[in-house]
Structure 1
Amino acid sequence: MNETMQPSLLRERFCRRERRSVAAVREFAGAAAVDWGFGVRLDDVLLCVSELATNALLHGVPPGRGYLVRLTVEEQGRALVLEVHDSGGGEPVVLEPCGESGRGLLLVEALADRWGVGDRDPGKVVWCVFSKPGLPEPGPGPM
């Protein structure tokens, strides 16, 4: 590795298909964001991880399976990347809110600098990127 390059920082947590996993993953993601100097974006990171984990539970994780949350710091420390991997099918899309539901990806779209969906076998990865304020915008997402 080139000495001038910062290694990619990585934290992962596998979560069981249960509602209490969302609170645990918020705590996990919050600690990583603060440790890596993204505390100024903490509220955005926590809300997005909650929404993506909840979507994975409700729409992407078949019974008996779980989901993976991965956080990395990339772009020489300028970007925090949040990924939620699940084994379910379907393509996540931003919907018009209906009653008390349907706001998850709308919030992710509003709070993250970028977001998207990638393929995995089986399932998908929903990711979003948070850049540090005051630094140049990082490049495209992880997929």
Structure 2
Amino acid sequence: MNESTQLSLTRSKFFLGELQSVRAAREFARALLREWELSGLHGSVVLCVSELATNALLHGAPRDDGFWLRAGYDGAVLRVEVRDGGAGVPCVGEGVPDESGRGLMLVAASSDAWGVDRDPDGSGSGKAVWCEWKVP
């Protein structure tokens, strides 16, 4: 990114509630990282997008509703969030060998911060699960 570029970038895309959407969300994230010249974060960001998109499909809103992937970069912090219409709030598992909560353990370990915002658009439902990376 050259110095004349204004650093307040945001992109979002809607993905259908189908398994192929996880791969499409990863590709969308990869394209943004290339465009924003943040390839050093590639592995962590793509892993987190994959986990959050999978969680949205498996535990979020009904499959017909799909999910939104939103990314923002202000020159210091990259934030990625996945929004779905589900009411449940995800939590990190206790490290047990089953599948529940392990994805969020990876998100927590791969990002600088993560969290959940309930009702992010003021519609009275849904959530956004987000993670952030500090960019040197």
Partner letter of residue 117 of structure 2?
G
Moved over 6 A (4+): none
Partner letter of residue 116 of structure 1?
G
Kept after mapping to 2: 8 A contact 1:38/1:80? no
**Structure 2 gap ranges (5+):** none
Alpha-carbon distance, 1:31 to partner = 0.9
Partner letter of residue 134 of structure 2?
S
Name the counterpart of 1:83: 81
Map residues 60-139 of structure 1 onto 2, 5 A cutoff.
Answer: 60-74=60-74, 77-99=75-97, 101-102=99-100, 103-120=102-119, 121=123, 122-132=125-135, 135=136
Distance across 2 between alignment mates of 1:63 and 1:48: 20
Q: TM-score, normalised by structure 1?
A: 0.83
Partner letter of residue 127 of structure 1?
W
Count of residues paired in the alignment: 128
Distance across 2 between alignment mates of 1:97 and 1:38: 31
What fraction of aligned residue pairs are identical, expressed as a percent?
45
Q: TM-score, normalised by structure 2?
A: 0.87
**Structure 1 gap ranges (5+):** 136-143
Name the counterpart of 1:23: 23
Find the residue that maps to 2:37 and give its secondary structure. coil
